[in-house]
């Protein structure tokens, strides 16, 4: 038995297309009892080969985009190549890195530039994260041995590199931004008497793992700024601190930015974004797999939605709009060509347009959620929403706290 592993890349510059990775074989007549599945060596070899191709595809995409002059549109030439050694979670990658000759259309002299500068590093972020994680729980030598044994990290990435990763993680934790989240909800009185509606505003500050909660039922702008000022004072937030203001983008919450006595950076709550993505996923999941474009896969629609979700998760706003347009185009093909899936396609188009308008309205709050999550920073408002529900239930006379 032989397993042929082939990768196919799209939108990867010179690496686009299919690439044969490796062949893993088994002799069926010489297997032992319990010899099932891939061995650790097979898995490490497979992941290492895929990692090599994936890193080369990432570099090829960056180089292809950089070879076009942004002023005149001319194509830049390659001066030379340099072989770079990059440590990753699944082995060391030998990556050819080109140097391009800049265009002289702006009147300045031509010079050599590296398109991979700013992206290429000595080790990947995932390897640094795992090294810091294991290095904080074990000795540096034990952590390095675990990485070498289980993940086939190259031997030159030793205990000194693990120690450096732990120290860098400590520096990042010291510079972690303070998370200031706000959420709101309306309580409507339905008992006997005069109808009365009011809004409950809750907030939470997370600083070095500790959370302090703020809640109020306010009716106007006269009292709220003073309440927010007292809350910020009690939490001892420094004036020059990095503060991330996290909301769902509602207008009543965005006005809090002007009321706060400190400078903040708006971050869009990912929980609300994920809910909109879930609506799209539910509609697309009802559509049968079909080939919608010449040369496309039968799973092209699902792949395009996966690209959209990945671009949003990593904060790639440059590719987000194009991915949304491509997804709507595929859904329109389904709507026109297959009456059985017309309703699902129409609903999916509605939710995609709703997501697009939501992201355009809150474009400044879209961040690289993947990086924030890996650093342990908060990306969701669920802890605030819990206190909104609690406040509404207590206002309605229910003392039981909800289980969220």
Q: Check whether residue 286 and residue 387 sit in a common domain.
A: no
Residue 13 lies in a domain: yes
Question: Are both 278 and 357 inside the same structural domain?
Answer: yes
Residue 404: inside a domain, yes or no? no
Same domain, residue pair 74 and 145:
no
φ/ψ region of 93 (left if φ > 0, alpha if ψ in -120 to 50, else beta) reads: beta
Greatest distance between any 2 Cα atoms in the chain: 84
Do 117 and 92 lie in one domain? The reply is yes
42 falls within a domain: yes
> Are residue 43 and residue 144 in the same domain, yes or no?
no
Domain that holds residue 301: 271-364
Instruction: Please count the residues of the chain.
Output: 404
> Which CATH number do you get for residue 193?
3.30.420.10
pTM comes to 0.56
Residue 284 lies in a domain: yes
Q: Do both 258 and 275 map to the same domain?
A: no
Q: Are residues 278 and 315 in the same domain?
A: yes
Residue 55 and residue 117 in one domain: yes
Q: Say how far apart CA 183 and CA 260 lie, in whole Å.
A: 15
Of residues 304, 83, 252, the one with CA closest to residue 312: 304
Alpha-carbon distance of 382 to 183, in angstroms, equals 9
Asked whether residue 150 falls in the same domain as residue 169, the answer is yes
d(CA 108, CA 119) in angstroms, rounded, equals 25
The answer to whether the Cα torsion of 308, 312, 313, 314 is positive or negative is positive
Residues 47 and 168 in one domain: no
Note whether residue 400 is domain-resident: no
Is residue 401 assigned to a domain? no
What secondary structure does DSSP assign to 134-178, as a single string?
HHHHS-HHHHHHHHHHHH---TTS-HHHHHHHHHHHHHHHHTPPE
Beta-strand (E) ranges in 210-350? 210-218, 243-247, 265-268
Overall domain count for the chain: 4
Q: Would you call 78 helix, strand, or coil by DSSP? A: strand
Q: Contact, 116 vs 125, CB < 8 A?
A: no
Asked if the structure places residue 371 within a domain, the reply is: no
Tokens 């074990």, residue? 138
Per-residue pLDDT of the chain (404 residues; tens, 9 = 90+): 778 888 888 877 777 888 888 777 777 676 777 778 888 888 888 888 899 988 988 888 888 888 888 888 888 888 889 899 999 999 999 998 999 888 878 777 788 888 888 888 889 989 999 999 999 889 999 999 999 998 889 999 999 999 999 888 876 665 667 878 887 777 666 566 666 666 777 777 876 667 777 777 755 667 888 888 888 888 887 777 778 888 888 777 777 888 888 888 888 989 889 999 999 999 999 999 888 888 888 888 999 999 999 999 998 888 888 899 999 999 999 999 899 999 999 999 999 999 999 999 988 889 899 888 877 777 876 655 555 455 445 544 443 333 33
Task: Tell whether 44 and 78 lie within a shared domain.
Answer: yes
Same domain, 257 and 182: yes
């Amino acid at each position: 038995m032989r397993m042929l592993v082939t990768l196919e890349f799209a939108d990867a510059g010179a690496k686009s297309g299919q690439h044969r990775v490796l062949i893993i074989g088994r002799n069926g007549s010489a297997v032992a009892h319990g010899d099932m599945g891939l061995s650790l060596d097979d898995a490490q070899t497979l992941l290492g080969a895929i990692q090599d191709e994936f890193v080369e595809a990432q570099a090829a995409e960056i180089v292809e985009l950089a070879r076009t002059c942004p002023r005149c549109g001319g194509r830049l030439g390659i001066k030379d190549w340099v072989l770079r050694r990059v440590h990753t979670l699944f082995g060391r990658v030998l990556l050819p890195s080109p140097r391009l000759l800049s265009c002289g259309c702006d009147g300045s002299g031509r010079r050599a530039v590296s398109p991979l500068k700013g992206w290429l590093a000595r080790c990947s972020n995932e390897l640094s994260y795992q090294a810091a994680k294991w290095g904080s729980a074990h000795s540096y030598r034990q952590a390095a041995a675990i990485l070498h044994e289980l993940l086939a990290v190259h031997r030159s990435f030793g205990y000194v590199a693990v120690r450096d990763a732990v120290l860098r993680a400590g520096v990042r934790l010291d510079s972690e931004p303070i998370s200031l989240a706000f959420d709101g909800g309306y309580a409507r009185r339905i008992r006997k008497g005069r109808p009365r509606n009011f809004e409950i505003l809750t907030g939470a500050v997370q600083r070095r793992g500790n959370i302090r909660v703020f809640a109020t039922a306010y009716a106007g702008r006269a009292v709220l700024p003073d309440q927010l000022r007292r809350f910020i004072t009690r939490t001892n937030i420094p004036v020059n601190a990095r503060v991330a203001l996290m909301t769902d983008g509602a207008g009543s919450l965005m006005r809090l930015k002007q009321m706060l006595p400190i400078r903040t950076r708006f971050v869009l709550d990912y929980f609300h974004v994920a809910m909109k993505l879930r609506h799209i996923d539910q509609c697309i999941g009802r559509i049968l797999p079909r080939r919608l474009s010449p040369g496309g896969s039968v799973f092209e629609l699902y792949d395009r939605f996966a690209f959209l979700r990945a671009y949003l998760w990593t904060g790639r706003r440059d590719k987000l709009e194009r991915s949304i347009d491509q997804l709507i185009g595929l859904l329109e093909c389904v709507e026109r060509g297959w009456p059985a899936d017309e309703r699902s396609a129409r609903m999916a188009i509605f939710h995609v347009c709703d997501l697009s308008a939501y992201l355009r309205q809150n474009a400044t709050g879209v961040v690289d959620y993947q990086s924030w999550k890996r650093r342990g920073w908060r990306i969701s408002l669920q802890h605030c929403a819990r206190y909104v529900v609690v406040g509404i239930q207590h206002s309605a006379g229910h003392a039981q706290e909800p289980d969220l």
